[in-house]
Structure formats: C-alpha cells, structure tokens
Amino acid sequence: MSHAHKPLDEQVIVITGASSGIGLSTARMAARAGARVVLASRNAEALAAIQEEIEAAGGEATHVVADVGRREDVQAIADRAVQRFGGFDTWVNDAGISIYGRLEEVSDEDHDRLFQTNFWGVVYGSLVAAPHLRRRGGAIINLGSIASDLAIPLQGMYSASKHAIRGFTDALRAELEADRAPVSVTLIKPAAIDTPFPQHARNYLDREPKLPPPVYHPDEVAHAILHAAIYPQREIIVGGGGRAMTGLKKLAPGTFDRLGGVMAGQQLRAEPPRDPNGALHRPAQGGHVRGDHPGMVRHTSTYTRAKLHPLTTGAVMAGVGLAAAALMKRRA
C-alpha cells in the first residue's frame, strides 16, 4: 500500500506487550496523539494502572489480560476492541521475551516458551487482525529486530524467532497485496533499546545481562511504530548502529561471525544475576518504559528520522548546502 491511513486521532490501536518497554511507550504516545488504545499483556495490575493513567490525562483506553501465545487470548483482545470501540485500525504485535545462554544449555521447555510468545504471538495477532482489517482497512505492525537479519550470540533462539517473524511478515504482506486488501504490513527492526528487556529475559549465565551498544531510547521505536500506523512502510530499522551492523553482516558475513566473542562480552555486566528466571514463564513487573542500561542511551536516531521523513531531511540538507555555498561565495 502506498496511501496513508487515518490520522492517529481517528484511530483505535491495539498494542500487545503494552505493560512495559516499547509497548508502554507506544501506548502513551498514541494516547497523547488522540488515539484510543487497547492494551494487552499478562500483567493485570500494570495494565489497570496504565489505563487509569491514560484516562486521567483525558485519553481513552481499555485493557485485556492475555498471553499472546494462546490464540484464544489474542481473539479476546480483538473482541474487546470491537466491544469497546467498534473495531480497530492498527494492530501492533510487540510482546516478546529473550533468553541469555548458550543454545546447547537452554532447556527445550524454555526454547518452546520463547517461540510461543515471540513467533506464535505475532502469528496469532496478525491472523486475528487481518480479517477485521480487510473489511475496515488499516495496519499490522510487527516487532522484529535487527536480529531478524543477523544472529546475536548468547541470544540464539531469540534471533531465530525474529528471523521467523520476518519470514511470516513478508509472506503475509505478499498475500494481502495479492488480494489488494487495504492492509499495510510493517516490520519494525530496533537495535538495542533501553527497556527492561535484559531483566525480563531468562538468564542461564553467571552474570547479569545488558544490552550491547549503541543503545536507543524506547520513544524512538514508538515514534517509528506510530509513523507506520499512518504512512505504510515495508520495514523500518530503528537506530543507525543497527543499520551498520546489518550492513556489515550482509557485506562480510564471515567477518561478522568472527565478532561473536566481542558481541557476547558486550552483553554482560560484572555483577551476578539478579533474577535468572525472568519473565519467560510468568508476568514481569510492569509500568516501566526504561531499563537501567549502565552506558550511554541515544534519545534519537538521525538515520531513522531521515528514513521516516526523507523529504524534510532532503530539504534541510539542501538548505545547509545553500547556506554553505553562500558563505563560501562571501569569503571568495
């Protein structure tokens, strides 16, 4: 699709994984823009508090306690959106989890649970949303990762799930386009984002995990998601650092593979694990957008903003060029 969808203040937006991190940032940003939001996660207490916060600020919201790894729970999210708001215009599949550990050491049970949440959660959300959006028009937005294009050592099954999400998303997009359905399908591929992601992950390591640099603010991902809700795009990488890594992987895959030891070390703090079980099999503590990354966090990505707003960026660069030319002429 090439045309724009409704403006945000006319949309109903469903967001899974809405109780923390990128999902929570997106929900707050959407509500401030006037969208009505349907919040979903496993954490009932956090969802109720977030709904109350949005409504206290004058917004409209509802919430559903759901495990996206269960199709019946995902259907209940759609049913609530129809019951409360008459339907939905954008469906954001954000819920996800990771495991830190060597592939050979992680249990089959934990690998299965990760795939049930990360991959099947996206599949169920997309397939529940698609029939409704075929009639109404709108957007399906799936959260992949730069790990959709490359493998991250010590997060092997997480990387595999994000590769699978990309394959599914591409196939769904092609089928909807073949039917000329009024539905856009976007894959968002963030780099490392300062959310509680490391603390929510299942951890098999003997040290507390962290995010590898460069790390970006969650609001930058939320901005990209809501941009795609209005202006359809095939894929959006969030973070110029992530774009550089995927470029290196494509151009020199052998060299990238040999950097595995460096990447592994960048994911470890000096301290022992805080909560090795994480939130893989139980709801996480919600209500927090940010994590506690110990290093620098970039609040915006010049690369991503340029990709989202190419005409504006081009005009700015042209203006810079004209100003520089005028300055050089005066000095001549």
* Long-range CB contacts (within 8 A, 24+) of 309-313: none
Q: What percent of the chain has pLDDT over 90?
A: 81
> Could you tell me the strand order of the sheet in which 235-238 lies?
61-65, 36-41, 12-16, 90-93, 138-143, 183-190, 235-238
In the predicted model, is pLDDT for residue 118 greater than 50?
yes
Q: What is the mean pLDDT of the chain?
A: 92
3-state secondary structure of 41: strand
The mean pLDDT of 247-253, rounded to a whole number, is: 85
Higher pLDDT, 237 or 324: 237
pLDDT the model gives residue 62: 98
Q: What is the mean pLDDT of residues 10-17?
A: 98
Q: How does pLDDT run across 188-230, given as a tens digit for each residue?
A: 999 999 999 999 999 999 999 999 999 999 999 999 999 999 9
Structure confidence at residue 255 as a pLDDT band (50, 70, 90): confident
Instruction: Locate 7 and state its tokens.
Output: 């403006």
Asked whether the predicted pLDDT for residue 245 surpasses 90, the reply is no
Question: Where does the pLDDT of residue 249 fall: very low under 50, low under 70, confident under 90, or very high at 90 and above?
Answer: confident
Please determine, for residue 272, whether its predicted confidence score (pLDDT) is greater than 50. yes
- The whole-number average pLDDT for the span 18-38 is 98
Catalytic positions: 158
DSSP for 68-106, written as a single string: TTSHHHHHHHHHHHHHHHS--SEEEE-----EEB-GGGS
Kindly report, residue by residue over 316-330, the tens digit of the pLDDT.
334 434 443 443 344
Reported as a single tens digit per residue, the pLDDT across 144-158 is 999 999 999 999 999
The answer to whether residue 312 scores a pLDDT higher than 60 is no
Distance CA 155, CA 243 (A): 19
Is the per-residue pLDDT at 15 higher than 70?
Answer: yes
Question: Which of 295, 118, 265 has its CA nearest to residue 201?
Answer: 118
Residue 64: in which H helix or E strand, if any?
strand 61-65
The residue type found at 190 is P
- Which tokens hold the place of 318? 């042209």
Helix (H, G, I), strand (E, B) or coil at 298: strand
Q: Nearest 5°: phi and psi at 331?
A: -80, -20
Give the CA angle between residues 205, 207, 213 to the nearest 5°. 100
- Asked if pLDDT for residue 106 goes beyond 80, the answer is yes
Decide if pLDDT at 40 tops 50. yes
- Going along the chain from its start, the domains and CATH numbers come out as 8-300 (3.40.50.720)
Neighbours of 104 (CB within 10 A): 6
- Asked if pLDDT for residue 29 goes beyond 70, the answer is yes
Give pLDDT tens digits for 56-77: 999 999 999 999 999 999 999 9
Which stretches of the chain are DSSP H helices?
A: 21-32, 44-56, 71-85, 108-136, 156-178, 197-200, 218-230, 240-251, 253-258, 260-265, 302-308, 310-331
Q: What is the pLDDT of residue 311?
A: 56
What does the block give as tokens for 124? 């169920």
Residue 302 gets the label, from left (phi > 0), alpha (psi -120 to 50) or beta, of: alpha
Can you give the pLDDT at residue 233? 95
**pLDDT above 90: residue 2:** no
Vertex 66: Cα angle to 63 and 68 (nearest 5): 125
Tell me how long the chain is.
332
